[in-house]
Amino acid sequence: MPAAGIDDAALAAATLRRQAWDRRLTHLWLILGVLVFAFPVWITLVGSTHDASTIGRGDVPLLPGGQAIANYTAAWTSGGEGRYRASPASLMLWNSALMALLIAVGKITISLLSAYAVVFFQFPGRMLAFWTIFLTLMLPVEVRIIPTYQVIVSLDLFNSMAGLTIPLIASATATLLFRQFFLTIPDEYVEAAKIDGAGPVRFFRDILLPLSVTNIAALFVILFIYGWNQYLWPLLVVNDRGLETIVVGLAKMIGNGDAQNEWNIIMAMAVLALLPPVLVVVVMQRWFIKGLTETEK
């Protein structure tokens, strides 16, 4: 009970006031957060619309300029006139996209199949196989980079898309995720399928794959971005300019000192490099949110 003399209308008004303040504070905090995260992206976007000399003077413009079309055309077709003659963005974007796609699809395919084998079949050495896969978690590309490089060179895969992607495809993370998911699938589905007469291949195709769709979509997004952001390995294993990826190309465009950087072109290139991952997230997100809300079982 409220103390005597305080009526309910005053209490309600006080509650409203407090809620309004809560809302304002929350929003203030959120807006600050957005600013911190979005500001660099905004600077890049704005920078890509000015000419080289504006940025060269050391100004950091906060409003868009008029050179957008020229900058983007230059980035797309030639990669600019700078000290480091980068490849055109069109080529590097294609290389990056192909690499990221191959890595994502390759990883998902291999992990689905190996998780299927480990979870649903009894064979000698099953646990050994599982633990071997598990152990490779401790050996990411960076750790095994020298021997991997040696292997790729010996296999004559230096400077090839295969050499670029295959070492990155081998990974345990996705296998483990699928294994965990498969373990939650009730035995009854397997048994019902057996009675229905579905062999291992049909069970995989007709039942396991459709049930895994949301997992596959989520993993695809993560793995595509993982592949897209690869830097060290592509830098090592490819020196053919025709196979250069955009992350590597972008880094190479930024020189260290003696000559002017074409910041306008670099920023246009950076914006272009951002787009495909964003696109993948947007498209796939719709898909796996649909899957999540319509969750089966």
Partner 1 sequence: MATLDVAGVTKSFGTTQVLHGVDLTVADGEMIVIVGASGCGKSTLLRIVAGLETATTGRISIAGRDVTGLEPADRDIAMVFQNYALYPHMTVGQNMAYGLRIRGLPKPEIAQRVTEAATLLGIESLLDRRPRQLSGGQRQRVAMGRAIVREPKLFLFDEPLSNLDAKLRVQMRAEIRRLQRRLGVTSLFVTHDQTEAMTLGDRLVVMHAGHAAQVATPMEVWARPADTYVAGFIGSPAMNFLAGTLADAGQAVALAAGPVLRFADGPRPGPEGLPLTIGIRPEHIEAGASGLTLPLDLVEPLGSETVLHGRLPNGEALTVKLAGPAPAGPAIQVTLPAAALHVFDAASGKRLDR
Beta carbon of residue 195, minimum distance to partner 1 (angstroms, whole number): 5
- Binding residues (CB under 8 A) for partner 1: these are 186, 188-189, 191-192, 194-198, 202, 206-207, 210-211, 296-297
Pick 8 or 188: Cβ nearer partner 1: 188
State which residue, 2 or 210, has the beta carbon closest to partner 1. 210
Alpha helices by DSSP H, 57-208: 68-77, 89-120, 126-135, 145-154, 161-169, 173-183, 187-196, 200-202
Query: For the packed helices 173-183 and 89-120, what is the interaxial angle rounded to 10 degrees?
Result: 40
If the CB atoms of residues 208 and 265 are measured against partner 1, the closer one turns out to be 208
Q: How far apart are CA 25 and CA 42, in angstroms?
A: 24
Q: How far is the CB of 278 from partner 1 (least distance, A)?
A: 30
Cβ of residue 139: shortest distance to partner 1, in angstroms? 36
Cβ nearer to partner 1, comparing 156 with 196: 196
Least Cβ distance, residue 214 to partner 1 (angstroms):
11
Report in angstroms how near the CB of residue 184 gets to partner 1 at its nearest: 12
In the complex, the smallest distance separating the C-beta of residue 287 from partner 1, rounded to whole angstroms, is 15
Bin 159: left if φ > 0, else alpha if -120 < ψ < 50, else beta. left
Q: In sequence order, which residues have a C-beta less than 8 Å from that of residue 64 and are 6 or more positions away?
A: 45, 46, 49
The HSE-up count of residue 151 (CA atoms within 13 Å, CB side) is: 11
Q: Which is nearer to partner 1, 4 or 201 (CB)?
A: 201
Four-CA torsion 154, 158, 160, 165, nearest 10 degrees: 80
Q: How many CB atoms sit inside 10 A of residue 94's CB?
A: 13
DSSP state of 81: S
Total length of the chain: 297
Q: Which is nearer to partner 1, 96 or 214 (CB)?
A: 214
